[in-house]
Amino acid sequence: MTSNYKEIKNYIHNEAKITKEEIQDIIRQEVKQEVQKMISSKEHLIDSAVTGYLQFAVRNAVTAGGNGYFAKDFKTRVTDSLADEMAKFIRSQIQLDLKIKE
């Protein structure tokens, strides 16, 4: 097996003039394409799993099903987070130029 590997390696490098980096780039591109295909074909399962987990986490937080974890101040945390995100968005959309009247 080792001799076959060395023969193939020598052929690729010496005869075909393909560098190690080129081979790695080809492999990266192919793996990326295959992963994208796999993910896109399972997208509904991924969405379902994420949705299910989020529903579980929120249910536990709201009902104190997780031994009170977040239950006491869940509403406060959500409200504060929502207010912060809304403020960030509004600040990013508005530009103020103030001029002082004399």
What is the reported pLDDT for 96? 66
pLDDT at 68: 54
CA 83 vs CA 18, 71, 86, 89: distances in Å: 56, 19, 5, 10
102 residues of the chain, pLDDT tens digit each: 566 888 888 888 888 888 888 988 898 889 988 888 888 888 888 888 888 888 887 777 666 655 555 555 666 777 778 888 888 888 888 776 666 766
Helix (H) or strand (E) holding 1: none
Question: Domain-by-domain residue ranges, the chain?
Answer: 2-70
Instruction: Name every residue whose Cβ is closer than 8 Å to that of residue 19 and which is 6 or more positions away in sequence.
Output: 13
Q: Is 66 exposed, middle or buried (0-12, 13-18, 19+ CB in 10 A)?
A: middle
pTM over 0.75, yes/no: no
